[in-house]
């Protein structure tokens, strides 16, 4: 096993090392961060790379964070990320983290007061982040025990992966499509591991833990008997990608993935919000009502104030990006706007009948202006799919640590 991947190949490590040093030099050419940290699968030796002779194809991204108190550095970091993506041919993201937030176990841009809720991202950075430059700051805050991760963390991960896959499941690139099949399958395993307090930062270790967990997942396997085999193959593909792991047609694989997501979602929802549902047309209303009743009921601030504060936080995100916030953030106070979007993701990803499309349109209209319904079913589905993905990017992406 190499330093950055599961391949025992020195040339792979040298290539990754060279890439990372180029990124560090580019960042430091204009600013002086307190630290630059590599996070994600490359930081713990499990980056996904296809090795074909001397040619390398990267399926994993470079994820870095620059620790600096200066908010204005965000723009430079975004510029470097774009330049490095083009120059290296590897998708590169660089986030900015305030030094004070490390102490509070947060990866946020703006300094916070008080301890942040434990998240997968902060847990993984604490345990597997690799400092490439500057001070080692990763363990300044209290140690995060993965057994204490809230079930919402797993549910949010699953919903995010389904939303991403709505956009990615129609690519013409076979490797890219297999990559998203893999990521979605692994999100099912991750959500179930979080429910049972078994999450770990390593993909290989999560694969072993999931295999041991299967014996207690009877209700999940009744709906998706394919899940253990999918997770086994997805773990192997993540570590050493090769197409022979998936011999089925891609359309058949996506069908199995949706079956696995459906079974996992039902199980996690039951554990988190204590309700079940017969079909996805009734899911949004049940989800939103149970969310408010079960998760905001004991808040020290009123339910209304909690919803207002979440929508105002979203509005600030748009203002910082110099964009006009969606009108729904100011007219929709019954439920948090980003949770409305999350409630619609399963409808578009897991179901396809007209009742679900009508329900999706009904809820999306609360957040944005929609065009008139298409007469053709497939045209309407594609339009609402695009609207749902757009709303997810605007209202959910970047709000993964929001109050549930």
Provide mean pLDDT across the span 154-160: 97
The pLDDT assigned to 308 comes to 64
- Residue 320 predicted with pLDDT over 70: no
What digits encode the pLDDT tens for the residues 272-308? 999 999 999 999 999 999 988 876 544 444 555 556 6
Cα 149 from Cα 333, distance rounded (Å): 28
pLDDT tens sequence across 212-239: 999 999 999 999 999 999 999 999 999 9
Residue 113 has a pLDDT of: 67
Helix (H) or strand (E) holding 55: strand 55-58
Q: Give the C-alpha separation, 68 to 76, whole Å.
A: 12
Supply the DSSP string of 310-362, one letter for each residue: HHHHHHHHHHHTT-PPPTHHHH--SS-HHHHHHHHHHHHHH--SHHHHHHHHH
Helix or strand run (H / E) with residue 46: none
Task: Give CA separation, 327 vs 190, 330, 368, in Å.
Answer: 35, 6, 7
Q: Are 85 and 92 spatial neighbours (Cβ–Cβ below 8 Å)?
A: yes
Q: What is the mean pLDDT of residues 348-370?
A: 90
pLDDT of res. 175: 84
Q: Is the pLDDT of residue 322 over 80?
A: no
pLDDT band at 21 (very low <50, low <70, confident <90, very high): very high
Residue with tokens 């179930």: 192
Q: How far is CA 292 from the centre of its chain?
A: 23
The values of phi and psi at residue 82, to 5°, are: -65, -45
Its pTM surpasses 0.85: yes
Q: Residue 123 contacts by C-beta under 8 Å, 6 or more apart in sequence? A: 144, 146, 149, 199, 201
> In the sheet that 62-67 helps form, which strands lie side by side, from edge to edge?
92-97, 62-67, 35-39, 130-134
- Find all residues with CB under 8 Å of 6, minimum gap 6, and list them: 45, 46, 204, 239, 240
Contact 371, 383 (CB under 8 A): yes
Distance of alpha carbon 310 from the chain centroid:
19
Instruction: Band the pLDDT of 366: cuts 50, 70, 90.
Output: confident
- Average the pLDDT over 241-251 and give the result: 89
Q: Are 199 and 146 in contact (CB under 8 A)?
A: yes
Of 171, 210, 203, the residue nearest 189 (C-alpha): 210
Query: What is the model's pLDDT at position 353?
Result: 84
């Amino acid at each position: 096993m190499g330093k950055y991947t599961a391949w025992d190949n020195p040339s792979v490590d040298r290539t990754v090392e060279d890439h990372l040093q180029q990124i560090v030099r580019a960042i430091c050419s204009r600013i002086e961060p307190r630290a630059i940290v590599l996070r994600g699968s490359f930081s713990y030796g499990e980056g996904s790379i296809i090795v074909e002779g001397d040619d390398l194809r990267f399926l994993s991204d470079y994820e870095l964070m620059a620790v600096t108190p200066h908010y204005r550095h965000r723009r430079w970091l975004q510029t470097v990320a774009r330049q490095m993506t083009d120059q290296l041919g590897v998708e590169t993201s660089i986030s900015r983290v305030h030094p004070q937030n490390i102490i509070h176990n947060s990866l946020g841009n703006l300094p916070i007061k008080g301890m942040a809720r434990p998240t997968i991202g902060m847990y993984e950075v604490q345990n597997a982040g690799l400092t490439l430059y500057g001070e080692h700051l990763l363990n300044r805050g209290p140690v995060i025990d993965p057994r204490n991760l809230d079930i919402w963390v797993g549910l949010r991960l699953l919903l995010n992966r389904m939303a991403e896959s709505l956009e990615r499941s129609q690519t013409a690139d076979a490797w890219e499509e297999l990559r998203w099949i893999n990521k979605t399958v692994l999100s099912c395993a991750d959500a179930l591991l979080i429910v049972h307090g078994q999450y770990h930062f390593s993909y290989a270790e999560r694969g072993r833990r999931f295999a041991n967990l299967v014996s207690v997942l009877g209700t999940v396997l009744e709906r998706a008997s394919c899940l253990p085999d999918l997770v086994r193959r997805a773990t192997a593909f993540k570590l050493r990608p090769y197409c022979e792991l998936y011999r089925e047609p891609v359309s058949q694989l996506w069908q199995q993935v949706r079956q696995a997501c459906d079974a996992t979602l039902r199980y996690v929802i039951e554990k988190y919000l204590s309700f079940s549902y017969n079909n996805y047309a009734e899911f949004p209303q049940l989800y939103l009502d149970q969310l408010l009743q079960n998760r905001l009921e004991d808040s020290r601030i009123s339910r209304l104030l909690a919803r207002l504060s979440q929508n105002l936080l979203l509005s600030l995100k748009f203002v910082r990006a110099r964009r006009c916030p969606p009108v729904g953030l100011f007219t929709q106070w019954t439920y948090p706007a980003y949770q409305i979007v999350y409630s619609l993701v399963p409808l578009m990803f897991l179901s396809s009948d007209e009742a679900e499309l009508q329900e999706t349109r009904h809820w999306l209209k609360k957040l944005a202006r929609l065009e008139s319904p298409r007469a053709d079913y497939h045209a309407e589905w594609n339009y609402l799919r695009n609207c749902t993905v757009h709303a997810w990017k605007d209202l959910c992406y970047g709000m993964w640590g929001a109050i549930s």
